[in-house]
Amino acid sequence: MDATKLSLAPMMEYTDRHFRHLVRLVSKKTLLYTEMVAANALCHERRNQVEEYRTNNALATEEEVQENYSDQYLQRYLKQGKVDPLEGASVLQLGGSDPKQMYEAAEVVMDMEKRGWCDYTAINLNCGCPSPKVAGKGCFGAALMDEPKLVEELTRALHDGTSGTMPITVKCRIGTDSQEAFTKAGYAQADEEVEYRRLCEFIETIAGGGIVTDFQVHARIAVLQKSFSPADNRKVPPLKYNLVRRLVHDYPELSFSINGGVESVVQAQQEFEACPDLAGVMIGRAWAADPWSFAMTDRVLYNDSHAPKNRLEVLQAYGKHADAEEMNGDPTKIRRFIIKAITHLFTGESNSKRYRIALDQIAGIPKKMKAEGKTIEGQPPVSELILNAAYEHLSEETLLRSPEESYERKLHEEMNRLGSIDGMNTRSNAVAQWQTQRKEEEEELETA
């Protein structure tokens, strides 16, 4: 709870252990969230590995089976970095709708903790993802907003699966369109009091179980009856921060963090000014689009003196993580993920595009050499390649710019944007560019 003032929002394919390590280098205080992990995937993987060990070791006792089954695939979902700074305050987000599966998934997490692969400080249940793959076919995520009693059962299963040793939290929306199909005009005319009562019923049902006291609320409804993409669900339904602020006022015994639309430390401060008892602000896409813009987070939001010296220092520290990951893994499989985490560290700077192109080439080296029948043995470590690319394409001024100077520049940009007409309803340039690039990457994957 000491870390909830600013949280890194869970983002599929982004908030993996590599990106979380980068965030921890930028801020030692920010509460980290993993990308959502499907409970059924954890259960399926462990069952397969347990059965395989039993088959190959017919005389093994059940205790030996549980202690020695292979956890290689489970590491893919749950492993945290092993290089300082460690993650510290970090939340594992799970998705699913079967209480038995949730109980088993929680047991898997505890197994992996005993084996030394992870040490999460809380487990979060995803009740907010509107993706058709999740809320539609999967029948979980935001679809759970319409089944509060089931959510209470799921949180109890997680609590019991961890033997009550870990806090269980819930990330949700302010509602769904299940009562009436969404249209902009119709939603604008809908009775907000009815909407708020439904949200309160959801919160009260879950909190009434005595397990959950901490909620992260995306201040938009989830549109599930139309073929809305996750991007549409982030842009089309309007933000209603006022409903989250009402929850803070009406349920002082509970903790609420606000999510959706906040893109900077400045905006986070504004939310605390508007609602002093708000537990926290959760930011996702802005962290991914421009992580360095949060380098003053600890000083501004937590009254802590910590701040990285400059981005060269961050790259040097991140290189230790990168080398350790490649030493203990397969570079042909993980290098692209390692590199992806630092791709936007120099957003908005001169020659940042050239630097990103250089990183992309570095990311592809292991696979390219494997295709040629070669290995990367004898090649420079990835940390050296990253730094060389930075020295080649970025100026000394850029590499050594202090977080204070960068913050002042960001503050000026932010004030200009928020002071413009409709400024509050527009994305920052960094986030807009990041979203365009992400869409292009997804389209490339679909056609590959």
* Residues with Cβ within 8 Å of residue 429, at least 6 apart in sequence: 348, 413
Q: Judge contact between 135 and 182, C-beta under 8 A.
A: no
Q: Any idea which residue has 């990183």 for tokens?
A: 359
Best CA proximity match to 174, nearest among 235, 125, 246, 229? 246
> What residues act catalytically?
129
Question: What does each C-alpha distance from 36 to 127, 222, 346 come to in angstroms?
Answer: 11, 17, 27
Q: How far apart are CA 389 and CA 401, in angstroms?
A: 17
Q: How far apart are CA 281 and CA 9, in angstroms?
A: 9
Q: How far apart are CA 286 and CA 6, in angstroms?
A: 12
Total number of residues shown for the chain? 448
Q: How far apart are CA 428 and CA 425, in angstroms?
A: 10
3 state SS of 154: helix
Task: Return the H-helix or E-strand segment holding 369.
Answer: helix 352-371
